[in-house]
Amino acid sequence: MLGSALDFTFLDGMHHCEFLLRDFMNAERHSAPFGVIALHDCIPVEIPMTDRTQNGTPPIAPHRGGWWTGDVWRTVLALKRHRTDLNILCLDSAPTGLVLISRLDPTSTLLNDRYESIVNDMLAMDLATMTVAKFMQEVDVTPTAAYHSPGSLAAALRR
C-alpha cells in the first residue's frame, strides 16, 4: 500500500472466520516480514458471544452484554494449526482479546492454496464441544500483564 510494505496492520471486521482469514492473507501479502498483524475480538470468554450474528444469544454474565466475537476464534485455531511458521501471541486484553502475529511470510501461498478446505474445517469447529477453557489452552492465551514493558512485548514478537 502506498508503495511500501506494511509494518503493522489491525484487523477488526465482519466477525466471521472466513472473512478474517481472507483479511489476514491479504494483509500478510502486503506486510514486511518483520511486520505485525493484530487480530481483534478473537478470544471469547463465553459461548454466547461466538454466535455468527450479533445480538444472537444473551450473555451468560449480564455485564458482558454487547461483547461479540463472532466466530473469528476459529481463525486463530486455523492459523495455529496450518501456519506453524507464524509467531502467534494471544493476549487476554479486555474485553475479547487481542492476537498479535509476527514472523510473517508475504510470499506464503499456503492459506490461499488451502482456503476452501481450511474454511470448511473452521466451520466444523464447535466451541461448545471444545470448551472455552480448552480453546484458551490450545491457543495459549497469555495475561496481558505478563508484558509489563514495551521491551517484553517486543521480545515476545521476535520469538
In a domain, 60, yes or no: yes
Residue 145 falls inside a structural domain:
yes
91 found inside a domain: yes
Q: Are 83 and 110 in contact (CB under 8 A)?
A: yes
pLDDT tens for residues 109-124?
999 999 999 999 999 9
Mean pLDDT of the chain: 92
Contacts of 55 (CB under 8 A, 6+ apart): 68
Q: Kindly state whether residue 17 falls inside one of the protein's structural domains.
A: yes
The answer to the question of residue 97 being in a domain is yes
Give the pLDDT confidence score for residue 67 in this predicted structure.
82
Structural domain includes residue 44: yes
Q: What is the pLDDT of residues 38-69, one digit of tens each?
A: 999 999 999 888 888 876 666 667 777 778 89
- The answer to whether residue 149 is domain-embedded is yes
Total domains in the chain come to 1
> How large is the average pLDDT for residues 21-49?
95
Q: Is residue 1 part of a domain?
A: no
pLDDT score of 68: 83
State mean pLDDT over 3-21. 93
Of 79, 82, 119, the closest CA to residue 101 belongs to 79
Does 74 score more than 90 pLDDT? Answer: yes
| Percent with pLDDT over 90 in the chain | 77
- Place 7 in a pLDDT band, splitting at 50, 70 and 90: very high
Query: Above 90 in pLDDT, residue 13?
Result: no
- Whole domain around residue 50: which residue ranges? 6-158
